[in-house]
Amino acid sequence: MADPATRPVHGDRRMSDVEALMWNLEKDPALASTFANVTILDQAPDPERLRRTMDRAVKLVPRLRQRVAPALGRLAPPEWQDDPNFDLGYHIRHIALPAPADERTLFDLAATLASAPLDRTRPLWDFTIIDGLDGGRAALFQKLHHTITDGEGGVRMSAEFIDFSRDGQARPEVVEVDDDDEPEPANLLNTVVQTVTHNVRRQLGVARRAVKNAADLARHPDKLPGVGSEVVGAAQSLIRQAAVTDHARSPLWTERSLRRRFEVLRIPLDDTKRAAKVLGGSVNDLFVAGAAAAAGAYHRAKGAEVEELRISMPVSTRTDRSMGGNAFTPARLTVPVAGKGAIDQFEAIRDRLTATKHERALEFADALAGVINVLPTSMLVRLARQQVETVDFATSNVRGAPFDLFIAGAKILANYPMGPTGGTAFNVTVLSSGGSLDIGVNIDSAAVDDPELLRRCLEDAYAELLSAG
């Protein structure tokens, strides 16, 4: 029997309802959910070696060679099907900057590449080797659609093309096995049957949960008085998360566009851990507290006072070690940004983050997505627009590897993530890389008219927080 590590990792044939929602909302380009990463390397990677590595990766992770096939009338989520015309060469590009180019030139190019939509008729990813960076350096730009996986899943996928040394390590050959779940030929009858079957399974799941809850109450009638308060609590949580009606809080970040500016910064990982421990929270608490303090400082620098801003963040639900797929629930919360300083606001932000992670409404995210996915596209986009207009900026935290890594013979010097703005003023995402936290700020330049000021405010806020350690 083949080593399980060499067998392909097959995901679900259909998107989850949340993934389908991201796919459907992309009809509005401002709501696109593609994310990217700018990896700076100490030298140019070997293109042929990278191609060989990726050829193995797409065998191990079949989702990378599959395209999206919509379901009948959107009554079920789209499914993934092998692309009969899959061409690895299309997904791995190679370009050069006019040497010697600096990082600003690289990041401007990355903002342009990230904004270009992926071809929806092909597998939803591409890599671009970028030569010509000053000091003999190069970069690898990686773009992936959010329906394939989330940030953490993307990091796990990257293990299939990242090495632990410059020479690389031996990887066992992938042993492809017959897929017993091969989709039936596409025709109207099969499409209708599959759509009906999917919806029956969904309703049976709801019914099973209802029966289980009723049986639990029958065995433990003492729990009955608490049911009413749980229902009320769940409804209140649902209103806080899914039915926000007011607008975003910023008086400055009101415009939206498709223009993007990418800014980056780095902070030491060990110093961050020490400071977070002294302050009584986690690395993520410190990361969000710094982003909030910087947002407040930006407003004060522009002569605008604001007490609170609303942020969005993904709450991870990943419990396995599998690659691919999305395992997160989107959440919203308000954070204080008034002029007390990052350290003084840390405790309040930590407590609000903790409370948000335990919101009951997060359990209903997939079910709600399934309900609204069947709405006409125009109505679906309008509802989504109304909700994203309540959020000022987005945050995300992705855990990487705490040691040196290599790609096709080139050492990774920095790894800057580019999260989707999703209709907000900017997305600030952190990725641990080696001994640093690499922070990428993907900015809507119509909303934030001074991106460099925002970056300086972030640098000052994290410097203040790290001083606690």
Cis peptide bond upstream of 100, omega within 30: yes
Which distant-in-sequence residues (6+ apart) come within 8 Å of 11 by Cβ?
62, 63, 80, 324, 325
Nearest alpha carbon to residue 416 among 140, 37, 138: 37
pTM for this one?
A: 0.85
Residues in the chain: 469
Q: Are 108 and 78 in contact (CB under 8 A)?
A: no
What pLDDT, on the 0 to 100 scale, is given for residue 232? 42
Strand 137-144 and strand 260-268: the pairing is unpaired
What is the token pair recorded at 76? Answer: 């079920």
- pLDDT tens digits for the chain (469 residues)? 445 557 777 778 889 888 988 999 998 999 999 999 999 999 999 999 999 999 999 999 999 999 999 887 677 889 999 999 999 999 999 999 987 899 999 999 999 999 999 999 999 999 999 999 999 999 999 999 999 988 777 877 888 889 999 998 888 888 876 655 555 555 545 555 555 555 555 555 544 544 455 555 456 565 545 444 444 444 444 445 455 668 899 999 999 999 999 999 999 999 999 999 999 999 999 999 999 999 999 999 999 999 999 999 988 776 665 555 676 788 899 999 998 789 999 999 999 999 988 876 666 667 777 778 878 888 889 988 999 999 999 999 998 888 899 999 999 999 999 999 999 999 999 999 889 999 999 999 999 999 999 999 999 999 999 999 8
CA torsion, ordered 191, 197, 203, 209, to nearest 10 deg: -140
What pLDDT, on the 0 to 100 scale, is given for residue 100? 83
What pLDDT, on the 0 to 100 scale, is given for residue 200? 52
Residue with tokens 């008219």: 449
What pLDDT, on the 0 to 100 scale, is given for residue 182? 53
Separation of alpha carbons 313 and 328, rounded Å: 10
What pLDDT, on the 0 to 100 scale, is given for residue 217? 45
